Amino acid sequence: MSLGYVQKLSFKEDVGTLGMSEIFDPPNVLQQKIEELASLIEESKHLVVFTGAGISTSCGIPDFRGPKGVWTLQREGKGVPEASLPFHRAMPSLTHVALVELEKAGILKFVISQNVDSIHLRSGIPREKLAELHGNSFMEICPSCGAEYLRDFEVETIGMKETPRRCSDIKCGAKLRDTVLDWEDALPRKEMNAASKHCRMADVVLCLGTSLQITPACNLPLKSLRGGGKIVIVNLQPTPKDKKAWLVVHGMVDQVMAGVMERLNCQISPYVRIDLFHVIFNQTHCIGDF
């Protein structure tokens, strides 16, 4: 979630329940739940992860509805909170990198994200295994041929508006659009179809750092229940879906995922950011005395 993104959103009166107190499981209870979650993941055949703003708070990006969340502070008249670093420089959290390792190991089959911060892609989740339900602040799409353009800068607009750039396919050349939804925009069909399909296939849907309040996205994990799947929720605040969950863990997402990965004997490789740049040399020939 980008603070610039928040300021571009149209006004909405009802943004859900805000500022609920955070709950922390006692250490012994938390450890028991981590072990149970690790066992569920180890035995799973089709693990799907559903993520919200809570997985990016340790990256320096505020959440929405927590005690210091964007909507919470705005409702209190305190304005938009400051990010701890420029948005495009936000590094993946331990949780982001752990999910990449689980995907590489063949355990994690699909990620569904409500975040627009592009950190899942930046961390290494394959695009074909990711549904970004609310769009991506760093991505443009061609409405004509469907080509996607991932940028190293935030796109200027939201609400799927035209941007200043065009499709680079010489057979197309259509004007590009941003991919980030405003409040009244419908979820993209391609992303929603993939998310629905994988939730129906899932035997475990792991919900990480999401309040599960925004419809229709919040109802996707429930699709797993019809096939006997289990829902696990890791969040510091209660959610409307807690009663449907097999397991509810009240703990820091990074701490929980670190414990799970240790229990699974999966190492979390350090994230290395690679920035590419293009240098063009112009050589000038001078005619004269040497």
To 10 degrees, what angle do helices 94-104 and 253-263 make?
30
In this structure, are strands 204-208 and 148-150 parallel, antiparallel, or unpaired?
A: unpaired
The catalytic residue among 134, 198, 278, 285 is 134
Is 285 in the active site? no
Report how far apart, in Å, the C-alpha atoms of 132 and of each of 64, 93, 101, 194 are: 17, 18, 19, 10
- For residue 53 the two structure tokens come to 């703003």
DSSP assignment of 128-185: GGEEETT--TTEEE-TTT--EEE-SS--S--SS-EEEEE---TTT-PEEEE----TTP
Burial 61-91 (b: 16+ CB within 10 A, else e): bbbbbbeebbbbbbeeeeeebebeeebeebe
Distance between CA atoms of 181 and 170, rounded to whole angstroms?
Answer: 28
Element (H, E) at 247: strand 247-249
As given in the structure block, the two tokens for residue 145 are 């041929």
Q: What is the Cα–Cα distance from 104 to 121, expressed in whole angstroms?
A: 14
Enumerate the active-site residues: 134
